[in-house]
């Protein structure tokens, strides 16, 4: 498995589980718990790679990737997108009305429908 595939696999694991312990618990079978009789010991064996039904992931890797994904998600959310109408000198009332509603349209607060019956000259600007 190359590095890119490894990161994709880790991303899938990180997004699937809230905590590292949840990930470890997913690797433990009921048979493991029956014989070991200790959940903490079963988790340690999975963490060390001696037991488990899936891929071995270190705690540091899990937590670092979890933090990176969260930072990326927050940055994407905070990023302001430039409005299409920004900086344009709009003379047409129709285009000015659309420009006033553009931000609400992008945020999903408003929907503007443009019927096909509008003259093409309004859409040429």
Per-residue pLDDT of 13-24, as tens digits, reads: 888 888 999 988
Q: Are 79 and 65 in contact (CB under 8 A)?
A: no
What per-residue confidence (pLDDT) applies to 53?
Answer: 66
Domain ranges (residues) in the chain: 3-78, 93-123
Query: For the chain, which residues score pLDDT lower than 50?
Result: none
Total Cβ atoms within 10 A of residue 122: 13
Task: Cite the DSSP H helix spans in the chain.
Answer: 3-16, 20-27, 30-36, 39-48, 59-78, 93-107, 120-123
Residue 60 structure tokens: 């540091």
What per-residue confidence (pLDDT) applies to 21?
Answer: 92
Distances (CA, A) of 16 to 23, 26, 76, 125: 8, 11, 20, 47
What per-residue confidence (pLDDT) applies to 105?
Answer: 83
Show Cβ contacts of residue 51 under 8 Å, excluding neighbours closer than 6 positions: 27, 28, 32, 42, 45
Claim: this prediction has a pTM higher than 0.95: no
What per-residue confidence (pLDDT) applies to 93?
Answer: 86
What per-residue confidence (pLDDT) applies to 72?
Answer: 85
What per-residue confidence (pLDDT) applies to 120?
Answer: 60
């Amino acid at each position: 498995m190359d590095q890119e595939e490894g990161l994709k696999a880790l991303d899938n694991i990180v997004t699937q589980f809230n905590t590292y312990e949840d990930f470890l618990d997913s690797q433990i079978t009921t048979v493991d718990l029956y014989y070991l009789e200790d959940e903490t010991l079963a988790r340690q064996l999975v963490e060390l790679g001696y037991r488990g039904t899936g891929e071995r992931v270190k705690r540091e890797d899990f937590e670092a990737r979890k933090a990176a994904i969260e930072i990326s998600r927050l940055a994407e959310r905070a990023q302001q997108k430039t409005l299409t109408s920004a900086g344009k000198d709009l003379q047409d009332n129709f285009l000015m009305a659309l420009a006033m509603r553009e931000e609400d349209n992008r945020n999903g607060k408003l929907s503007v429908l443009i019927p096909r019956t509008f003259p093409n000259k309004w859409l040429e600007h």
